[in-house]
Structure 1
Amino acid sequence: MGRITDAMKAYFRSEGWEGQEPEEGVLVFRFEDELGHQWGCLAIAHEDAEQLAFYSVILTQVPEARRAEVTNFIMRTNYGMQVGNFEMDLDDGEIRFKTSVDVENAELTNALCDNLVSLNLMITGTYFDGLMSVITGEKRALEVVGVLDDPDDDDDESDDEDDSDD
């Protein structure tokens, strides 16, 4: 084992996360947030690159007919996001949210792992319902992204201002 794998395993052990290790340097988990949303989690230690990546994997794959609209959602959501990003496999419709850290010349501490994982889980939970509504076709990307990005924005005020130009 390498130092990234050792630190990653130590962190998840300290948090009580029981996962599977399908191969060296890879841990797989199932997660359920406080709202009952469930998704898969994947932690990968890239020893040669001295990096740790953590993924939240949405369990529903995007049907081919919905991939363009979901891509729109992902691009709009990722734009301006300071840490992490959503990505979609255009061949099979798998969606993941990724956070990662490069620890070349640095120690991978439990605090650093916790920041990486906690932020990932929080962002995935925040966007989960909106993403699912776009996957199922219930809503379009434009209907969802603005609301999620600025939930405190008063839409009524901006609508009134926009109406004056008509």
Structure 2
Amino acid sequence: MNDLFPIIQKFFTDDEWYYLQLGNQPILQMTFQGKNGKWSCYAQVHEEQPIFFFFSICPVNVPEDKRVLMAEFITRANYGLKVGNFEMDFSDGEIRYKTSINVENDTLSSAIIRNLVYANLWTMDRYLSGILSVIYGPVTPVEAIQKSEE
């Protein structure tokens, strides 16, 4: 494993996050409470390449009958995003927001980690109510996006 993982652990320790390392893997698991809900997060280092990933996992999986509507919502949300993207696993309905950076031939600073992590958290929190309204309500993806982006 490269030297990224200790840098990431130090960032989350210094930023006063409570986290658990998943076994011997270069993955930290934590939770975050936003304005619109609470969800799990994962900070991960890719072992073969110097890439840092941060994931916010939506607290609710999308039911099978809503996945096509959610795919439209995600596509509409992703279109204007500058950092990161939403992803949905069509097999189980898991939605996550991913931010990442490849630091090959460069260094990973606390400022870069902070920007990547907090952009991720802000974006999941911004769109979470729209995601939930598509899952639970008779709201179209277009209406849900408009409400999320107000």
Q: Deviations over 1:141-161 (max 9, x none)?
A: 011213433x2xxxxxxxxxx
Tell me if the contact between 1:4 and 1:46 (Cα under 8 Å) persists in the aligned partners. no
Matched with 1:154 is none
Tell me if the contact between 2:53 and 2:98 (Cα under 8 Å) persists in the aligned partners. yes
Matched with 2:31 is 30
| Structure 2 SS opposite 1:90 | coil
Runs of 4+ in 1 over 6 A off after TM superposition: none
Matched with 2:134 is 134
Higher Cα Rg, which structure: 1
Structure 1: runs of 5 or more not aligned: 152-166
TM-score with structure 2 setting the length = 0.94
Measure, in 2, the Cα distance between the counterparts of 1:138 and 1:37: 20
TM-score with structure 1 setting the length = 0.85
- 1:22 deviates by 1.2
RMSD: 1.3
Matched with 2:119 is 119
Measure, in 2, the Cα distance between the counterparts of 1:101 and 1:44: 11
- 1:36 deviates by 5.4
For 1:74-113, list aligned pairs within 5 A.
74-113=74-113
Structure 2: runs of 5 or more not aligned: none
Matched with 1:41 is 41
What percentage of aligned pairs have identical amino acids? 36
* Aligned length, in residue pairs: 149
